[in-house]
Amino acid sequence: MTHATTPMTVGELARAAQVPAHVVRYYARIGLLHPTRHPYNGYKLFSPSESRRIQFIRQAQTLGFSLSEIADIFAQGAVGHSPCPRVRDILKQRIEANRKKLDELASLQSRMEAALEKWAAMPDGVPDGESVCHLIEST
């Protein structure tokens, strides 16, 4: 062995995995990481392999997985099942959901751009009892 695999504290793991320390604490709190405890001072102690776990979490997040879905994936593996079928399913749903969101945002973008263009020719209004802002009310 060229280097020992000694347990790491929150800060050490955070540096190793390139995430803020309180994110490590958050992941531990919601059960994504499983630290042991230092018997004297109560510090959380992580196996260095938890760093790979964090990498996995961040990678899954870039694919649109939520933390609870990631927890689900871990849970599948922990009872000896392959998480892969679920992973494929979730991704398919995410792709559909994201498609919808993209459409919504594109539609919002159109509405906003159309409004801005229309407003270009309209004067500012002074506030009165009937109208709040005729720009918005005109859309």
Partner DNA sequence: TCGACGATGACGTCGCGTCAAGGTAA
Partner DNA sequence: ATTACCTTGACGCGACGTCATCGTCG
CB of 16 to DNA, least distance (A): 11
CB of 42 to its own copies, least distance (A): 28
Name residues whose C-beta falls within 8 Å of residue 51's C-beta, 6 or more positions apart in sequence.
8, 13, 16, 17
Greatest distance between any 2 Cα atoms in the chain = 80
Q: Using CA atoms, how far apart are residues 5 and 83, in angstroms rounded to an integer?
A: 28
Q: Restricting to residues 50-109, name those near its own copies by CB under 8 A.
A: 53, 56, 59-60, 62-65, 73-74, 76-78, 80-85, 87-88, 91-92, 94-95, 98-99, 101-102, 105-106, 108-109
Q: Choosing among DNA, its own copies, none, which partner's interface includes residue 36 (Cβ < 5 to 8 Å by kind)? A: none
Instruction: Using CB under 7 A, list all residues that contact DNA.
Output: 9-12, 14, 20-23, 25-26, 35, 38, 40-44, 61, 66-68
Residue 8 backbone dihedrals phi, psi, to 5 degrees: -115, 150
Q: Using CA atoms, how far apart are residues 139 and 114, in angstroms rounded to an integer?
A: 9
